[in-house]
Amino acid sequence: MIDIWTEKYRPDELDDIIGQEEIVDRLKAFVDEDSIPHLLFSGPAGTGKTTSAIAVAKEVYGDTWKQNFMETNASDERGIDVVRDKIKDFARTKAVNAEYKIIFLDEADALTSDAQQALRRTMERYSENTRFILSCNYSSKIIDPIQSRCAVFRFTRLDEDDVKEYIKRIAENEEFKITEGAVDAILRVAGGDLRRVTNILQTAAINNDKVEEDDIYGAAASLRPEEINKILVAALNGDFMDARDELAELMIDRGLDGQDVISAIHREVLGLDIPERGKLEIIENLGEFEFRIAEGGTSDLQIEALLAKIADLENR
């Protein structure tokens, strides 16, 4: 049976969490004092928010943590009914060998405004026997009455050195070798998301004793820097059809969609040898076309239109 590495290497204790030292220290102080308030974790994906919530529950409850801890994802159930039914039913029951339960609400910023208001009232009513840990990417989407009831922790992207140590530890434990070029490629495509790092590593190493740079870009379904630079330079030189054809071929070969291409261009645009004004316009267009794709626009058509905009820069 093949293990899921994201679960296999998920820390069980706060001390084992990578990075976020200040946050870990404060959470440990709450646990040591057995005085945990409502918590709000905000920050990018893959930075340790869910892991921290589970680690807190394990350290507070020990062997009974599963009976006293409920995890729910607000992006799956974002309406008011999930608060009125599922959350309230769990909150009103007595904790097992403990003074309070913990409800972990992941992606809380996906809750509707009405659901957040209902959640606020539930937090007030059951504060004696229930603690809430809310997790979100953007705390600005959480209403102020909820934020004011929580201790807010802002998780940041992980330091590259910490990610490198994590990659080398997995490689050693799973008995495969990884080149420095492959490590750099993971850092480039994962962008500090440790969950994505782990998934890419497992995919790349599944049939390889030695993981190299090409394996990482293949596993991540991502464009190499030189590939995207070649396409951008061709477009900027006015060779729109060549740039379009090469990008289309790569998208088919790698199974890329429009969001993948926009992310790849965004990573490389600041290194282009063009005036700052040109970089500014490309980034502005990236935002516009990413929004179009997110709103349901056809990826192929939007990417071609983006390349056309880039090719048009030199003609002004």
pLDDT in tens, 233-269: 888 888 888 888 888 888 887 778 888 889 889 988 8
In this structure, the answer to whether residues 244 and 272 fall within a common structural domain is yes
Give the SS3 label for residue 308: helix
In this structure, the answer to whether residues 76 and 199 fall within a common structural domain is no
In this structure, the answer to whether residues 22 and 113 fall within a common structural domain is yes
- Residues 234/200, Cβ–Cβ less than 8 Å: no
In this structure, the answer to whether residues 16 and 146 fall within a common structural domain is yes
- Residues 223/217, Cβ–Cβ less than 8 Å: yes
CA R_g for the chain: 23
Query: Cα–Cα distance between 48 and 40 in angstroms, integer?
Result: 13
In this structure, the answer to whether residues 11 and 146 fall within a common structural domain is yes
CATH number at residue 177: 1.10.8.60
In this structure, the answer to whether residues 15 and 147 fall within a common structural domain is yes
pLDDT of residue 224: 86
Q: What residues in the chain have per-residue pLDDT under 70? A: 1-2, 74-85, 314-316
In this structure, the answer to whether residues 214 and 229 fall within a common structural domain is no
Of 188, 219, 250, the residue that ends a domain is: 219
In this structure, the answer to whether residues 59 and 174 fall within a common structural domain is no
In this structure, the answer to whether residues 104 and 238 fall within a common structural domain is no
CATH number at residue 18: 3.40.50.300
pLDDT of residue 82: 62
Can you give the residue range of the structural domain that contains 287? Answer: 225-315
pLDDT of residue 207: 81
Tens of pLDDT along 26-55? 999 999 988 899 999 999 988 999 999 999
Of 117, 132, 154, the residue that ends a domain is: 154
In this structure, the answer to whether residues 264 and 310 fall within a common structural domain is yes
In this structure, the answer to whether residues 297 and 190 fall within a common structural domain is no
In this structure, the answer to whether residues 271 and 300 fall within a common structural domain is yes
Among the listed residues 130, 133, 83, the one whose alpha carbon sits nearest the alpha carbon of residue 111 = 83
pLDDT of residue 76: 59
Question: What are the E-state strand segments in 149-250?
Answer: 150-154, 177-178, 210-211
User: Cα-Cα-Cα-Cα dihedral of 181, 186, 187, 193, to 10°?
Assistant: -170
Domain count, the chain: 3
- Residues 231/247, Cβ–Cβ less than 8 Å: yes
Sign of CA pseudo-dihedral 101, 106, 111, 113? positive
Of 123, 154, 185, the residue that ends a domain is: 154
